[in-house]
């Protein structure tokens, strides 16, 4: 009976996609570690990759869903601080599970001067923004990545309205 119960439980976890899934907040990449390689499509349909960003610093901020209140507040704060990011040599890249069309509408509605990328969940799982590729949305986390591709700061808890100023304070030489 115990053997059957264990097998039934394993099947349940497999069907639910929970085997190998990580709890929220687990496995964020540590400061100083290399950020994984990635390639995603932006809101205009153009591909962007970590190779394209080599030699540049960037903030990669995950947001759960385009056009929602928290994501809009965070995006607006980053938009308003965009000139300060540019002057400090940091490119802002928003990332969600939204498709390019939804990201384009979001960027246009909010006049975002930066790219919004569509993740199929693969990178999100690697960086701790999702527990599985089947998850419907990403957690609100961010990474500040240096020109060498290493994590300068990891933000596992983000306040949408204060995140831009928090990151600006953490930019080396800023």
Structure tokens of 37?
């390689």
Q: Rounded to an integer, what distance in angstroms lies between the CA atom of residue 164 and that of residue 114?
A: 14
Bridge partners of 118, per DSSP, are 41, 96
156 is a catalytic site residue: no
Structure tokens of 164?
């831009």
DSSP 9: H
Q: Is 3 helix (H, G, I), strand (E, B) or coil?
A: helix
Q: Rounded to an integer, what distance in angstroms lies between the CA atom of residue 129 and that of residue 135?
A: 10
Which member of 28, 29, 53, 71 is catalytic?
Answer: 71
DSSP 121: S
Give catalytic residues, as residue numbers.
71
């Amino acid at each position: 009976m115990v053997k059957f119960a264990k097998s039934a439980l394993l099947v349940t976890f497999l069907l639910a996609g929970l085997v190998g899934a990580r709890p929220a907040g687990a496995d964020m990449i540590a400061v100083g570690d290399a950020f994984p390689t990635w390639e995603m499509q932006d809101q205009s349909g153009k591909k962007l990759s970590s190779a394209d960003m080599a030699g540049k610093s960037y903030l990669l901020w995950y947001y759960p869903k385009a056009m929602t209140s928290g994501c809009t507040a965070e995006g607006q704060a980053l938009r308003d601080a965009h000139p300060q990011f540019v002057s400090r040599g940091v490119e802002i890249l928003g990332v969600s599970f939204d498709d390019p069309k939804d990201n384009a509408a979001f960027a246009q509605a909010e006049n975002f001067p930066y790219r919004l990328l569509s993740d199929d969940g693969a990178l999100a799982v690697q960086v701790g923004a999702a527990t599985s590729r089947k998850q419907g949305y990403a957690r609100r986390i961010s990474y500040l990545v240096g020109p060498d591709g290493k994590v300068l700061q990891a933000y596992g808890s983000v306040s949408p309205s204060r995140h831009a100023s928090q990151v600006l304070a953490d930019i080396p030489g800023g």
